[in-house]
Structure 1
Amino acid sequence: MSNKAGFLNLSIANILSDEQSMLTQARIRLLFYGLWVVFACVGAVFLSVLYSHEGALVAMSGGILVTVVMLFKYLTWKGDWKLVAHILLVMGTLLNLADAFIIFQKIDIISIQLVLLIIIFSFYMLGQNWGLLYSLANLSPVLMFMVYTYNNIYIINIRPVHLDQFTLILCVLANFVVMVFIHNHFYNAFLKNILELKRTSEEQTRLNETLEVAIDKAEKSSHAKSEFLSTMSHEIRTPLNAVIGMSNLLMMGNPRKDQEENLEILKFSANNLLAIVNDVLDFNKIESGKVVFENIRLDLPELLNNICGGQIIKANEKGLVFKLKIDDVLRNKTLIGDPTRITQIIFNLVSNAIKFTRQGFVEVKASCQEQREDQVTVRFSVRDSGIGIEQDNLKAIFEPFTQESITTTRKYGGTGLGLAIVKRLLELKGIQMQVTSKPGQGSEFWFDMVLPLINEVAQEPVVAKVKAVSAEEQEMSDLHILVAEDNMVNTMLMKKFFSKWHVRSTFAENGERAVEMMSYGNFDIVLMDLQMPVLNGFDAAMEIRKMADHQKAAVPIIALTASALTDIREKVFSAGMNDYVAKPFKPDELKEKILKLVHHRSARRHQPVE
């Protein structure tokens, strides 16, 4: 009901509102205009019986007129249409019973009309349940009365009233007018409702078509974005692979001190560029929900020392004191987790701390909050004495491509993706990042991570490690590797690495040539670039798996990819390849995966056949 309705209100507009359904509005209109019709009809009957000097009928019709006026006033004041409808139906029921049992003491056309009127009105106004109730309340006594009078057992001492013909005609006409009005009103409401439903349906159909077009565009846009990222990743990573790879090779060749410094700068700049590319690609992976967390053994102190190793140099170059504190409880414990993602999180936090700290310190801390038999809760925190963050900006810094202000971006640089990646990675594990900061005094970022615990810690003697390294070198020298690579710079780079490892290698310039070489040559493992002319790496791998020679068909295949597609892992394994290495690759990672697959194949060959 509108707030404009009040005691003096006489307008229907003030008791209707947009929140009401079409049916409710139709019921209110029926009452509003119907009460006027009833008033007019009963008024005509009142004048007729007044002229005929029928005292009982004058009192009854006058009482009905007064009640109708009061109900109209209540409706326009409170807008309570349900109560008004119930009062009208109760009044109609009592009138019907009084007519049949007392006033006329017979069932005539007026009684039948009144019953029909109550049935129609109750169903339209109050629905099925109330309609049935009021219908039975009127039909049952009428039928009972007809049965009693049929057997001549109805006896009452009150003399029945007899209407003159004019009043009878007027009553019949009045009842018909009210019934026609109710039917006409609800027919129009029903018709409008059907038309509105049709219009809504047509509009919904248009909206669905528009939505389908929008979804199709969004899917195409998403696919185009993924393809663009993949292409750009490939185009950027390919030369970076050469830059970083050649830097590693030159540094392995015992360069002079000044050459080593130049190579460090070259490698540092290339890694910075790679970090920016990786940030964009990782954020895209996280947003598309394609991040997969590993659960492998990790030595937390060693991992943190590796993460902070390069960062200490950056901090010292700025004159900052770098502190790494690891709880003694965490030492000599083997935990289960994802070292790649932990590295990514801590590295981003530490890089930010160093970037935004001009003087003072940066502290990285790992402390044991709770230890159980099978798990440990570790609190990781990164604290600095940097520029700090305003309280109003604490949420904004975790948004992608956002820093605290434009001034901060211009002064310190960066993509603004680091903290967004950290926050989303932690949220995927159900962990919340906590921040405390004061402008000009520094910030602290911390979170608690539950890591499964392995109680047994294997201690490997140094002598055993040395022997393992020499055995590894011997094993690498016995391998014959087929490399499918179309980029000449990458080919040259890998030849140099294989030369260092004393590995025999054969190179194919495309996938078709690689399949051809596999058909007449014997290789221990295949390194397969994915994007090649003539035949790409996926199709080449599937062709190898179809070979009639089971030994050749089962050769381990490692994909070499610079692609950024989030589902690259699934595509690689679907094509029958065993593993993949992202470019620019780390030499030790590539060597480790080669040896792992060769060992696995060798173990399967020597398994006894049952």
Structure 2
Amino acid sequence: MSEKVSFFNLSIYKILRKEQPFLDQARIRLLYYGFFLIFVALGALYLSVYFQNQTMLANTSLVLMGSVVVLFKYLTWRPHWQGVSHALLIVGTLVNTSLVYISIQTVNIITVQVIIIVIVFSFYMLGQSWGLIYSLLNTVPVLVFMIIEFNNGYVIGIKPNKIDQSTIIISLFANFILLIFIHSHFYTAFLKNIKHLKDSSEEQNRLYNKMEAAIEKAEKSALAKSEFLSTMSHEIRTPLNAVIGMSNLLMMGSPRPDQKENLEILKFSANNLLAIVNDVLDFSKIESGKVVFENIKFNLVELMNNICGGQILKAEEKGLLFKLDVDSSLRSKVLFGDPTRITQIIFNLVSNAIKFTERGNIWVRVTCVEDRHNTVTVNFSVRDTGIGIENDSLASIFEPFTQESLATTRKYGGTGLGLAIVKRLLELQGLQMTVNSTRGYGSEFLFNMEFPVSTEPMPEPVAAVPANDPSADGGLSGLRVLIAEDNMVNVMLMKKLLGKWNITPTIAENGERAVEFMQYGNFDIILMDLQMPVMNGFDASKEIRKMADPRKSQIPIIALTASALFDIKDQVYEAGMNDYVSKPFKPDDLLEKLHAHAPGKMA
């Protein structure tokens, strides 16, 4: 009940609740109005037997009338219809048995009607189990009485009351009214319940249709979002590619000290912008469930050195002491896992540690906590002496677009996506992050990760020629390169960059022209932009793969893409391309791809 009902309440409307099922409301109404009918019937019986001087029947009628009044009052005060139903059935069972064995000492039509009423009432009110129990409690004693009377005759020391015809008529009439009322009431309730179920089913169907429409709309929205991100990514990364690329080229040209400082600022700002774009795209990819984890061989020690190599320089620029400590037992092990995602996780944690530490130390520890020969469990720890985190803010720092406070965001900047990406990547692998932090003293982020161990040794790494060495051509001098690119700024950038390696490329302004160049010319490798007018890079690659000359159809094709589509890698390979480089790219990355796919020119 939402509010307590007064003891003096007599209204049914105060004991009914809207949230109650139809059948429960029907049971309460049956009791409420049924008590009136029973009381009137018992009153008529009492008058009939009283004027006939049938004392036991008159007293029984009075007891029943008193019971009805008490139960009615209790129902209107505390509407526990189950308890009231049990009490009424127990009283009815006792009265029925006493009538048969004591008051009238026989089984007649009134007794049978009372048993029928008890059976019907118990099943409707309390269900199958209790209905069966009360049916047996009323029928078995009567059957036993009939057997005793048939075999030996039933005789006790109490004179039975005789019921005249008027009492029988009143009883039969009252019993019929009660039976009709019970059946009619529950028939109506059942019809209402069936209608309610039908309406609920129709409403559920409507809601299901709405849900399907909403899901379809959400899927279209997600697709539109994905395409929008891809387009925006392409539009943002394309000029960024030119800014970062030109900065790299100018840095490779031995600039004056004042020029070098300006270029460093330009390159730093462009890289910061690129990091923000990448964070948003990475988080979108993770949230959409499009992340697929690789399971490839790698050396964890080398990976950690590569991740922390650039970060050590950043820490030293701030005057911080950076220490990387990798368990020596991991040096000789080749593990299976996803080095790209590990890089993403550690890079974000270390970047945060450096960002929020003004003075002191940064520790990165990698410890083998369990070695089972075929698998190892590794603990990663990133600790700093930075600003620390308040205890009540520990949960919120892992929420997307959130930092500990507005003051933190204003002072240190950033998107607030770094830790959210770390948390999501760990959760997708069934892992949890532990954070220990004290405000003003620093923070420590820890997690464990299990890796299968390879039984094969890792091949020795091949030393690459530094791309920022202006005197080095990387062993690619004279390489015949076809570049399919429609953006003139990127064309100029590629010409200047390849010129540093003594390569003079051929430029095709779209995919169709690239196919034509391949038909009439000879090249060693193709750098293929994906989004171009007339014919895009995918279709152009497919056309090239169909050429009859195997030297042309099997030419290495490297995709150049600024797209953020989640399945861009799969699309590149499905189109027949050999590899891809994401814009904006580092000269080292492109040089590495050229070495990998044009090995004949390296001799």
Q: Could you tell me whether the CA contact under 8 Å between 1:243 and 1:270 is conserved in 2?
A: yes
- What is the match of residue 409 of structure 2? 409
Shift in CA distance, 142/380, structure 1 to aligned 2, threshold 3 Å = closer
What are the equivalent positions in structure 2 for 1:184-583 lying under 5 Å apart? 184-454=184-454, 457=457, 460=460, 476=476, 480-502=480-502, 505-547=505-547, 552-583=552-583
| Distance in 2 separating the partners of 1:524 and 1:40 | 108
Give 1:42 shift: 1.2
Give 1:583 shift: 1.0
Name the aligned partner's letter for residue 404 of structure 1: E
CA deviation digits over 1:546-587, x for unaligned, max 9? 556666555443332111122223333343434332111233
Shift in CA distance, 294/588, structure 1 to aligned 2, threshold 3 Å = farther
- What is the match of residue 123 of structure 1? 123
CA deviation digits over 1:27-84, x for unaligned, max 9? 2332233223212211210111111122342233233323333443554566443343
| Distance in 2 separating the partners of 1:112 and 1:522 | 108
Q: Could you tell me whether the CA contact under 8 Å between 1:35 and 1:72 is conserved in 2?
A: yes
Give 1:277 shift: 0.9
Q: Please state whether the residue corresponding to 2:51 is helix, strand or coil.
A: helix
* More displaced 10-residue stretch of structure 1: 530-539 or 509-518: 509-518
Q: Could you tell me whether the CA contact under 8 Å between 1:2 and 1:16 is conserved in 2?
A: no
| Distance in 2 separating the partners of 1:144 and 1:412 | 92
CA deviation digits over 1:128-160, x for unaligned, max 9? 3443554566567778989999xx867334777
CA deviation digits over 1:240-288, x for unaligned, max 9? 1122223333334444555444433332222221111111111111111
Give 1:486 shift: 1.3
| Distance in 2 separating the partners of 1:184 and 1:590 | 86
| Distance in 1 separating the partners of 2:411 and 2:512 | 51
Name the aligned partner's letter for residue 488 of structure 1: M
What are the equivalent positions in structure 2 for 1:114-153 lying under 5 Å apart? 114-135=114-135
* More displaced 10-residue stretch of structure 1: 125-134 or 410-419: 125-134
Q: Could you tell me whether the CA contact under 8 Å between 2:299 and 2:458 is conserved in 1?
A: no
Give 1:199 shift: 4.1
* Structure 1: segments with no counterpart, 5+ residues: 601-610
What are the equivalent positions in structure 2 for 1:25-44 lying under 5 Å apart? 25-44=25-44
Name the aligned partner's letter for residue 363 of structure 2: E
| Distance in 1 separating the partners of 2:29 and 2:13 | 10
| Distance in 2 separating the partners of 1:157 and 1:398 | 87
| Distance in 1 separating the partners of 2:500 and 2:483 | 16
Name the aligned partner's letter for residue 296 of structure 1: I
Shift in CA distance, 332/106, structure 1 to aligned 2, threshold 3 Å = closer
Q: Could you tell me whether the CA contact under 8 Å between 2:559 and 2:581 is conserved in 1?
A: yes
| Distance in 2 separating the partners of 1:370 and 1:493 | 50
Of 154, 157, 166, which residue of structure 2 is paired with 1:156? 154
Name the aligned partner's letter for residue 180 of structure 1: I
Shift in CA distance, 523/135, structure 1 to aligned 2, threshold 3 Å = farther
Q: Please state whether the residue corresponding to 2:450 is helix, strand or coil.
A: strand
| Distance in 2 separating the partners of 1:96 and 1:178 | 16
Give 1:419 shift: 1.5
Q: Could you tell me whether the CA contact under 8 Å between 1:96 and 1:138 is conserved in 2?
A: yes
* More displaced 10-residue stretch of structure 1: 40-49 or 105-114: 105-114
* Structure 2: segments with no counterpart, 5+ residues: none
Q: Could you tell me whether the CA contact under 8 Å between 1:3 and 1:14 is conserved in 2?
A: no
CA deviation digits over 1:71-102, x for unaligned, max 9? 43554566443343344335445555666677
Give 1:351 shift: 2.0
* More displaced 10-residue stretch of structure 1: 70-79 or 395-404: 70-79
Q: Please state whether the residue corresponding to 2:267 is helix, strand or coil.
A: helix
Name the aligned partner's letter for residue 440 of structure 1: G
What are the equivalent positions in structure 2 for 1:69-148 lying under 5 Å apart? 69-76=69-76, 79-93=79-93, 95-96=95-96, 108-135=108-135
| Distance in 2 separating the partners of 1:574 and 1:303 | 29
Name the aligned partner's letter for residue 491 of structure 2: T
| Distance in 2 separating the partners of 1:380 and 1:566 | 28
CA-based RMSD: 3.7
| Distance in 1 separating the partners of 2:162 and 2:279 | 97
Q: Could you tell me whether the CA contact under 8 Å between 1:2 and 1:14 is conserved in 2?
A: no
Shift in CA distance, 433/146, structure 1 to aligned 2, threshold 3 Å = closer
| Distance in 2 separating the partners of 1:575 and 1:136 | 79
Give 1:543 shift: 3.6
Name the aligned partner's letter for residue 291 of structure 1: V
* More displaced 10-residue stretch of structure 1: 338-347 or 86-95: 86-95
| Distance in 2 separating the partners of 1:285 and 1:81 | 57
| Distance in 2 separating the partners of 1:592 and 1:308 | 20
CA deviation digits over 1:92-126, x for unaligned, max 9? 45555666677667665434433432332122112
Q: Please state whether the residue corresponding to 1:448 is helix, strand or coil.
A: strand
Q: Please state whether the residue corresponding to 1:447 is helix, strand or coil.
A: strand
Give 1:376 shift: 3.2
Indicate yes or no: 2:60 matched with 1:60.
Answer: yes
Shift in CA distance, 315/17, structure 1 to aligned 2, threshold 3 Å = same
Name the aligned partner's letter for residue 182 of structure 2: I
| Distance in 2 separating the partners of 1:345 and 1:59 | 87
Q: Please state whether the residue corresponding to 1:52 is helix, strand or coil.
A: coil
Aligned length: 594
Name the aligned partner's letter for residue 154 of structure 2: I
* More displaced 10-residue stretch of structure 1: 368-377 or 396-405: 368-377
Q: TM-score, normalised on structure 1?
A: 0.84
Shift in CA distance, 378/575, structure 1 to aligned 2, threshold 3 Å = same
Name the aligned partner's letter for residue 229 of structure 2: L
Shift in CA distance, 157/145, structure 1 to aligned 2, threshold 3 Å = closer
| Distance in 2 separating the partners of 1:551 and 1:91 | 102
Q: Could you tell me whether the CA contact under 8 Å between 2:474 and 2:591 is conserved in 1?
A: no
Name the aligned partner's letter for residue 223 of structure 1: L
| Distance in 1 separating the partners of 2:358 and 2:463 | 42
| Distance in 1 separating the partners of 2:599 and 2:171 | 105
CA deviation digits over 1:342-386, x for unaligned, max 9? 222222222222222222233333333333323333332222222
Give 1:178 shift: 1.2
Indicate yes or no: 2:173 matched with 1:173.
Answer: yes
CA deviation digits over 1:194-240, x for unaligned, max 9? 44334434443443344344334433332232222111110111111
| Distance in 2 separating the partners of 1:72 and 1:136 | 26
Q: Please state whether the residue corresponding to 2:590 is helix, strand or coil.
A: helix
Q: Could you tell me whether the CA contact under 8 Å between 1:572 and 1:580 is conserved in 2?
A: yes
Shift in CA distance, 475/106, structure 1 to aligned 2, threshold 3 Å = farther
